[in-house]
């Protein structure tokens, strides 16, 4: 039985991860954390997230070291915020606990510090900005298509709900980078006015916003007489959570090293070479 600690336990991702771990036969949540001073401290986490009692009280970040020593989890799953994650990584890695980091938005310095801490303490970790299985396959397929259809006109269209604050999405930008890495070119964000004929090297990126769309990304490869479109559609956070469950199992026989979701999904070979 894999023993799991979860930081950000009541968050959108953390609560979904706890709910899904609770449905697995080979893993269980042994401790769960929220920020210091949380008003629900001590209450059963299962009851707090609506799945009924699971016998795990909510602990707070300031209690982490003590609780981790007592409960001795194999892995800490962290979906919180950069500063909190940095602190959690320091505490857990010193105790030899494996790590799964899903938090996004680290500065360069924060990311470097986190990786240095993990390496110094020689614990294995999976770090990924996107745990969704389909998105990772989408990225890998894109590498192949960009290599094979590099001379087609390539445009990216993404759509998200009306509340999203940043544009284009991180996934669209990553897709654009993959295209650039594999066939060169430069980004053009939308078009307006007398922009002239399209240049071959352009990688067009277009952001649509509206309704409750969770996240859709299409990369269009337009050639003479044909067009190929690669689309990924997310409909719920469960896609990320399923990837986290795979990452927990992946770390079971790892003693050291920093991994990403390509490693977890066995995608680190290049299709079509
Ligand atoms: P969220 O709902 O705000 O959850 C984060 C939780 O962490 C909140 O409950 C927050 O509490 C708690 N927290 C803050 N400081 C803490 C600390 N020191 N110790 C323990 N818990 C603490 O956000 P979310 O949507 O779950 O996303 C969390 C992170 O994961 C974000 O960075 C997001 O971008 C990222 N994410 C990554 C993926 C991926 O595939 N890698 C997918 C989805 C989301 P308060 O609300 O009280 O501050």
For residues 53 and 107, state if they share a domain. yes
Q: According to the model, what pLDDT value does residue 6 have?
A: 98
φ/ψ of residue 88, rounded to 5: -65, -40
260 Cβ below 6 A of ligand 1: no
Structural domains counted in the chain: 2
For residues 230 and 241, state if they share a domain. no
Atom 12 of ligand 1: nearest residue by CA position? 8
For residues 18 and 31, state if they share a domain. yes
Would you say residue 211 lies in a domain? yes
CATH number of residue 153's parent domain: 3.30.360.10
Ligand 1, residue 130: give the atom nearest the CA. 40
Would you say residue 149 lies in a domain? yes
63: Cα within 13 Å, side-chain hemisphere:
19
For residues 227 and 242, state if they share a domain. no
Sign of torsion over alpha carbons 108, 112, 118, 121 = negative
**Hunting for tokens 């050291």 — which residue is that?**
256
For residues 150 and 174, state if they share a domain. yes
For residues 151 and 76, state if they share a domain. no
Query: E strand or H helix at 203, and its extent?
Result: strand 202-209
Q: According to the model, what pLDDT value does residue 27 have?
A: 98
Angle between helices 238-250 and 12-21 (to 10 degrees): 60
Ligand 1, residue 81: give the atom nearest the CA. 32
For residues 122 and 155, state if they share a domain. no
CA of 12 to the centre of ligand 1 (A): 7
Q: According to the model, what pLDDT value does residue 273 have?
A: 40
Would you say residue 212 lies in a domain? yes
Q: According to the model, what pLDDT value does residue 48 have?
A: 98
Q: According to the model, what pLDDT value does residue 115 have?
A: 97
Active site residues: 160, 164
Q: According to the model, what pLDDT value does residue 270 have?
A: 52
Q: What is the DSSP string of 114-180?
A: HHHHHHHTT--EEE-S---HHHHHHHHHHHHHHHHTTTSEEEEEEEE-TT--SSS-HHHHHHHHHHH
- Distances 93 to 41, 89, 99 between C-alpha atoms, Å: 24, 6, 8
CA of 228 to the centre of ligand 1 (A): 36
Peptide bond into 168 cis (omega under 30): yes
Q: How far apart are CA 210 and CA 59, in angstroms?
A: 38
CATH number of residue 83's parent domain: 3.40.50.720
For residues 11 and 139, state if they share a domain. no
Would you say residue 269 lies in a domain? no
7 Cβ below 6 A of ligand 1: yes
102 Cβ below 6 A of ligand 1: yes
Q: How far apart are CA 247 and CA 241, in angstroms?
A: 10
Q: Which residue range is the domain that position 149 belongs to?
A: 134-234
Ligand 1, residue 132: give the atom nearest the CA. 40
For residues 186 and 224, state if they share a domain. yes
Say which DSSP state 47 is in: H
pLDDT in tens, the chain (273 residues): 999 999 999 999 999 999 999 999 999 999 999 999 999 999 999 999 999 999 999 999 999 999 999 999 999 999 999 999 999 999 999 999 999 999 988 899 999 999 999 999 999 999 998 899 999 999 999 999 999 999 999 999 999 999 988 899 888 999 999 999 999 999 999 999 999 999 999 999 999 999 999 899 999 999 999 999 999 999 999 999 999 999 999 999 999 999 999 999 999 865 544
CA of 103 to the centre of ligand 1 (A): 7
104 Cβ below 6 A of ligand 1: yes
**If we measure between CA atoms, which residue out of 263, 260, 248, 259 comes closest to residue 74?**
248
Residue of 58, 61, 62, 80 best suited for mutating to test ligand 1, as the one with most atoms within 8 Å of CB: 80
- DSSP 3-state assignment of 210? coil
Task: With beta carbons less than 8 A apart as the criterion, state whether 88 and 7 touch.
Answer: yes
CA of 77 to the centre of ligand 1 (A): 11
């Amino acid at each position: 039985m894999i023993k799991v600690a979860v930081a950000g336990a009541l968050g959108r991702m953390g609560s979904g991860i706890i709910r899904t771990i609770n449905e697995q036969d080979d893993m269980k949540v042994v401790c769960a954390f929220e920020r210091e001073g949380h008003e629900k401290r001590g209450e059963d986490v299962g009851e707090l997230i609506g799945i009924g009692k699971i016998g795990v009280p909510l602990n707070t970040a300031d209690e982490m070291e003590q609780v981790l020593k007592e409960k001795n989890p194999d892995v800490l799953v962290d979906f919180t915020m950069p500063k909190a994650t940095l602190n959690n990584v320091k505490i857990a890695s010193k105790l030899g606990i494996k790590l799964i980091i899903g938090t996004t938005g680290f500065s360069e310095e924060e990311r470097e510090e986190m990786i240095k801490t993990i390496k110094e303490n020689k614990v294995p970790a999976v770090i990924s900005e996107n745990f969704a299985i389909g998105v990772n396959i989408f990225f890998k397929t894109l590498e192949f298509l960009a290599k094979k259809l590099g001379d087609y006109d390539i445009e990216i269209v993404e759509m998200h709900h009306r509340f999203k604050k940043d544009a284009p999405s991180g996934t669209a930008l990553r897709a654009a980078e993959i295209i650039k890495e594999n066939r060169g070119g430069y980004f053009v964000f939308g078009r307006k006015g007398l922009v002239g004929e399209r240049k071959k090297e352009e990688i067009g990126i277009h952001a649509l916003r509206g309704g409750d769309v969770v996240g859709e990304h299409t990369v269009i490869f337009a050639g003479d007489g044909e067009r190929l479109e690669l689309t990924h559609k997310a409909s719920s956070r469960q896609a990320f959570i399923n990837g986290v469950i795979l990452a927990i199992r992946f770390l079971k026989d790892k003693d050291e090293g920093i991994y990403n979701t390509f490693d977890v999904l066995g995608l680190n070979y290049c299709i079509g070479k």
